[in-house]
Amino acid sequence: VKSEGPKLVPFFKATCVYFVLWLPTSSPSWFSALIKCLPIFCLWVFLLAHGINFLVSHRSASRILAGLIFSAVGDAFLIWQEQGYFIHGLLMFAITHILYSSAFGMKPLDLKAGLLMGLVSSSCYAFLYSYLSGPFTYLVAVYIALIGFMGWRAVAGMQLCNDLWTWTKLSACIGAMLFMVSDLTIALNEFCFPVPYSRFIIMATYYAAQMLIALSAVETRDEEDFRKRN
């Protein structure tokens, strides 16, 4: 907390600015896009503050940074979703989930966690299916599969049962779960029925998820510092 907390202060301030201004979604503008993306920009800075050499030498951290970049682009597209850019935003976040999955890695495999996440993802799609039409029938299926896969890799990496978990692995796991809650709320609100306080739920869980996933990138740095001290 002492080492990473101060680097996250700009993120918390930018998040507060977003919720305080609470710009109306009915009037999309570049200023609205900037305010919405500003917390994610701050997470770029958070990772860059650990040093370019750190990002270059640790692929997981650089992939999370790349995921944050695509997330910001997706956020900007979704500002103009009523003008036909919803699919563009969906594509950007699909790439984000692929990058995060790659950052979390495939070891350990943990097929039980994979089966559980597959069941959750399938249940979500089964519920949404009757509300979908046209290309969204397939696009949403692919998107749910990708975010479900990302959730699997985050849960599997935590290794809670083997007592090998760390706070950064737990951070990645909780972040992935919050991302799924955020995206499921978007899907329900977009395709099924109006969700009360949907915008607050979506953005609060989204920003928290991105912060926790960004925090998970510093694990290798912590391990190196520990080895140096000992």
Residue 225's pLDDT band (cuts 50, 70, 90): very low
Angstrom distances, CA of residue 134 to CA of 27, 122, 131, 138, 186: 27, 19, 11, 8, 18
H-state helical runs in the chain: 9-21, 30-48, 52-57, 59-79, 86-104, 111-129, 136-158, 167-187, 198-216, 219-229
With a cut of 70, say whether residue 226 has pLDDT above it: no
pLDDT category, 229, cuts 50, 70, 90?
very low
Are the C-beta atoms of residues 37 and 75 closer than 8 Å to each other?
yes
pLDDT bin (cut points 50, 70, 90) of residue 74 is: very high
pLDDT of residue 222: 45
Which pLDDT tens digit goes with each residue over 88-138?
999 999 999 999 999 999 999 999 999 999 999 999 999 999 999 999 999
Residue 10: asked if its preceding bond is cis (omega within 30°), the reply is no
Count the alpha carbons within 13 Å of 68 in the hemisphere toward its beta carbon: 29
pLDDT tens digit string along 20-63? 999 999 989 999 999 999 999 999 999 999 999 999 999 999 99
Percent of the chain with pLDDT over 90: 84
Confidence (pLDDT) at 1: 65
Please give the Cα distance from 203 to 136 (Å, whole number). Answer: 22
pTM (predicted TM-score):
0.93
Residue 67, pLDDT > 50, answer: yes
Within 10 angstroms of residue 76's Cβ, the number of other Cβ atoms is 21
Kindly state the tokens that stand for 10: 């700009």
The answer to whether 104 touches 63, Cβ cutoff 8 Å, is no
pLDDT at 2 over 70: yes
